[in-house]
Copies of this chain bind each other. A is one copy, B any other.
Amino acid sequence: MRVVDLSHPLRTGMQVFPGDPQVRISGAASVPADGFEVAELHLGSHSGTHLDAPRHTVAGGAGIDELPLEWLIGQARIVRLPEAAPHSTVSWSQAADQLTGLAAGTIVLFETGFSRWFGTERYLSHPVFDADIARILVAAGVRVVGFDTLNPDPTPDPANPASGSPDGASALPFHDVFLGAGGAIIENLANLAEVTWPDPQVSVLPLRLAGVDGSPVRAVAFQP
């Protein structure tokens, strides 16, 4: 079994979505004092590499524990978009030629190369994805889509919170379409360039958090 780690490390003080709960990991027991070590974990449902359930943007929608597990482990297609510029919008036409012959249920992952900026201010200036991509993937039977960025939609500048939401438009048009159709979105993927073989298997299984809107995941690509 060959396995590539598609996840960023989780550690105290790491970068999170502006306004999200901070990650804090602290000791709760230690080998010298207690005979075993235990840690206390404080994090958000969207810390690090994570999965969004419909409930993230659909009030009362399905929680992360209600997603069929069969959707979250299986065949993937990686779309390489090395030219995606900061703050640009990726349109369907830029991705279409890498999405031909897609089987229903394929996990579709978009690589922009922006994961290299994780942990820096520049990471907030990621490209975004046109909601038409969400509509076409939903129509093709895709249930899970992932990105090596913080967000397929514009991320507000923390110094100017209205910046993510153009006047009158939804602030989260890609999320609205894809989660609105009952799908799930992976954000903050890492190391997609290391998946060098075609048609990888991918696992993005969330923790079984009852009724929660999202979960950190250990995303991997594997080749049996």
Interface residues of A (CB under 8 A from B): 1-3, 5, 7-11, 17, 19-21, 25, 28-32, 35-46, 48-49, 55-59, 65, 69-70, 73-74, 171-172, 175, 201, 203, 205-214, 216-218, 220, 222, 224
**Nearest CB of B to A55, in Å:** 6
> Given A36-B56, A45-B41, does the pair A207, B216 have CB atoms closer than 8 Å?
yes
A31 to B214, CA, bound (A): 13
> Given A38-B44, A42-B42, does the pair A220, B207 have CB atoms closer than 8 Å?
no
Q: Which residue of B lies closest to A224 (CB)?
A: B224
Q: B residues within 8 A CB of A171?
A: 35
Please name 16 pairs of A and B residues whose Cβ atoms are closer than 8 Å in the assembled complex, sorted by A: A1-B70, A1-B74, A2-B70, A3-B73, A20-B28, A25-B212, A28-B45, A36-B172, A37-B56, A37-B59, A38-B214, A39-B44, A39-B214, A69-B220, A205-B218, A208-B218
Number of copies: 2
A28 to B17, CA, bound (A): 12
Q: Is the Cβ of A57 less than 8 Å from the Cβ of B31?
A: yes
A69 to B32, CA, bound (A): 29
> Given A39-B212, A44-B39, A205-B203, does the pair A73, B1 have CB atoms closer than 8 Å?
yes
